Structure 1
């Protein structure tokens, strides 16, 4: 299972570079999800991350196809309001494309349109989605059984949830506050990494 770390849009550029340059070795992908920043600001942030030692292939930029293309990073993550997956695939064939979805129908359409992976949630209750009913493991399982592309689970995930998520067919997990808001970001990232390695060893 993969570990995707998602930025929370609450840190300064300096804080982000400091945190991400320390934890990047413990995660598979870093999603730069900074909706309030301009294209130029996202470019400067990602450029600095790369110069601080983060591998470009690990970086996935939220929504900004232009920045992802210019910096030759690992991919782009899009949502319902973004440029469509099929349009991106046609114009930027080299980009890895993830699509964030919240329903079965959205996920099926995203695969048809050419998405390389799906981000689906929220699976568990989470403070960032207060008042909204979580999708739960049954919905996750239904999705993973229907899709050929990997499904990454997001929302309220902690290291102790990995076994049931894998059993539901998740190809990976996406974590935001569990690492970004931790008192010790490195320790938190390593805890998820260790749990994933233990899970991998268990299945053989």
Structure 2
């Protein structure tokens, strides 16, 4: 199982560095998802994370392929509005490429284009997607059982939801506010890891 944590765009640089540098040993990937920051601001933030001890390969940067490539981090997470997976693969072969998808068809296309893994959601109701109906488990299960690359579930996943996710073939979960807004992010990250392992799900490293 892999645990991805995603920044929420609501923290100062100091807050992000403090939280992420305290939890990085308890999570598998850190997604820097800061839509309102410039390329230079993201670059400077990620530099601080690396100087704070976070291994560059553990960091994925949302959308900004240029920053990810320049800093030599693990990869980039692409959204619907981003460059295409195959284009990024061709131009930046050293990067892993995650792709956010919201349907079975998008998942199939992302796999065909060469994505390293998929983020699918939102699975459950979440405050970050208020007013939008969650996609639920059915399509997620179909994708996980037919797609050969790792499928990561995202959206409203609390530690107690891991039991419901057991056995459908996903390779991990992604959490934003559940960890980033927690009073004790380290404790919560450990709780996610522990609850998943207790459910007996297969380990998988990207």
Matched, 1:115 2:98: no
CA distance in 2, matches of 1:34, 1:13: 11
Checking the alignment, whether the CA contact within 8 Å between 1:120 and 1:140 is kept in structure 2 is: yes
Cα drift, residue 51 of structure 1? 0.4
Residue number in structure 1 paired with 2:25: 25
CA distance in 1, matches of 2:110, 2:95: 15
Cα drift, residue 198 of structure 1? 2.3
Cα drift, residue 159 of structure 1? 1.0
Residue number in structure 2 paired with 1:127: 127
Residue number in structure 2 paired with 1:82: 82
Checking the alignment, whether the CA contact within 8 Å between 1:9 and 1:35 is kept in structure 2 is: yes
Matched, 1:72 2:45: no
CA distance in 2, matches of 1:166, 1:13: 36
Cα drift, residue 35 of structure 1? 0.6
SS in 2 for 1:31: strand
1:20-59 pair list within 5 angstroms: 20-59=20-59
Residue number in structure 2 paired with 1:141: 141
Change (3 A) 1:203 1:40: closer
CA distance in 2, matches of 1:146, 1:80: 21
Checking the alignment, whether the CA contact within 8 Å between 2:163 and 2:196 is kept in structure 1 is: no
Cα drift, residue 67 of structure 1? 0.8
Cα drift, residue 196 of structure 1? 2.5
Matched, 1:160 2:177: no
Checking the alignment, whether the CA contact within 8 Å between 1:138 and 1:168 is kept in structure 2 is: no
TM-score between both structures, scaled by the size of structure 1: 0.96
CA distance in 2, matches of 1:184, 1:87: 40
The CA RMSD measured in Å over matched residues stands at 1.3
| Stretches of structure 2 lacking an aligned partner (at least 5 in a row) | none
CA distance in 2, matches of 1:196, 1:167: 11
Checking the alignment, whether the CA contact within 8 Å between 1:140 and 1:169 is kept in structure 2 is: no
- Which structure has more helix as a fraction of its residues? 1
Change (3 A) 1:168 1:39: same
Write out the 4+ residue segments of structure 1 that deviate beyond 6 Å after TM superposition. none
> Size of the alignment, in residue pairs?
203
Cα drift, residue 140 of structure 1? 0.6
Checking the alignment, whether the CA contact within 8 Å between 2:85 and 2:115 is kept in structure 1 is: yes
TM-score between both structures, scaled by the size of structure 2: 0.95
CA distance in 2, matches of 1:185, 1:203: 24
| Stretches of structure 1 lacking an aligned partner (at least 5 in a row) | none
Checking the alignment, whether the CA contact within 8 Å between 2:56 and 2:74 is kept in structure 1 is: yes
CA distance in 1, matches of 2:202, 2:115: 27
